């Protein structure tokens, strides 16, 4: 079929919630899908891309990889690792003809979001649920302009700035948001342990 021009590394799972509720197997599973899939894709696609002196990776992570998702230790940690790996790819191979973009949306109308428990849906939908076609349009624009970070929810960029300016205040705000969510969904408290 010829060479790979664009590889969209989009595998991802939500995994088990909390920390105390998880097993070592849960962590290995989510790590394998949310992190290692990106690594395997790059490791096997890069040689051919380097040989043709062109290629592009679009790695789907999540806003949770930039901001942390309340109640989801495994998801947050692995998505942060996915963002970090995409950064590494861009730093290491960006001057060798390899493009890299990292997609970090909040809620997108997919089965992963629509089938999520009420508290998760409320959390990821705070800034609205986007349509897949709108996110795809953002991805195409990013590829065309060789833009690294794709944040379809514009508020994510504001949140990153707030987090960077005052980390302690950011954490306090997230703790407050968590308390508000648990007040609204008391049945979900065990998910947050």
Tens of pLDDT along 21-35? 899 999 999 999 999
> How many C-beta atoms lie closer than 10 Å to residue 193's C-beta?
12
Query: What's the confidence (pLDDT) of residue 181?
Result: 82
Query: What's the confidence (pLDDT) of residue 33?
Result: 97
**Residue ranges per domain, the chain?**
6-185
Question: What is the C-alpha to C-alpha distance for residues 178 and 123, in angstroms, rounded to an integer?
Answer: 9
pTM of the full structure: 0.91
Q: Does position 80 have pLDDT exceeding 70, yes or no?
A: yes
Question: What is the C-alpha to C-alpha distance for residues 136 and 191, in angstroms, rounded to an integer?
Answer: 31
Quick one: average pLDDT of 102-106? 94
Which residues does residue 57 pair with via DSSP β-bridges, in sequence order? 7, 100
Mean pLDDT of all residues in the chain? 90
In the sheet with 55-60, reading across from the earlier edge strand, the strands are 6-9, 55-60, 98-103, 149-150
* Best CATH choice for the domain 6-185 from the list 3.30.360.10, 3.40.190.10, 3.40.50.1970, 3.40.50.720: 3.40.50.720
Question: Who wins on pLDDT, 122 or 6?
Answer: 6
Residues 171, 173, 174, 178: is their CA dihedral positive or negative?
positive
Helices (H), the chain: 24-31, 37-52, 64-67, 73-93, 111-114, 118-124, 132-145, 155-165, 167-184
Query: What's the confidence (pLDDT) of residue 2?
Result: 76
Worst-scoring range by mean pLDDT, 37-51, 104-118, 124-138? 104-118
Q: Which residue has the tokens 């990013």?
A: 142
């Amino acid at each position: 079929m010829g060479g790979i021009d664009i590889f969209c590394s989009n595998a991802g799972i939500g995994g088990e919630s909390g920390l105390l509720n998880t097993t070592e197997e849960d962590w290995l599973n989510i790590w394998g899908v949310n992190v290692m899939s990106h690594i395997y894709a790059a490791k096997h696609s890069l040689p051919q891309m380097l040989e043709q002196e062109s290629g592009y990776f679009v790695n789907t992570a999540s806003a949770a990889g930039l901001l942390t998702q309340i109640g989801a230790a495994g998801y947050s940690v692995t998505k942060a690792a996915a963002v970090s790996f995409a950064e590494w790819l861009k730093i290491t191979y960006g001057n060798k003809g390899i493009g890299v973009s990292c997609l970090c949306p909040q809620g997108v109308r997919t089965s992963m979001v629509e089938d999520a428990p009420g508290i998760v849906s409320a959390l990821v939908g705070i800034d609205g649920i986007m349509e897949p076609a709108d996110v795809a349009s953002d991805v195409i624009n990013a590829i065309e302009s060789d833009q690294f970070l794709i944040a379809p929810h514009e508020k994510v960029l504001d949140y990153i700035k707030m987090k960077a300016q005052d980390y302690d205040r950011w954490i306090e705000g997230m703790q407050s948001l968590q308390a508000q969510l648990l007040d609204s969904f008391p049945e979900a408290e065990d998910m947050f342990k």
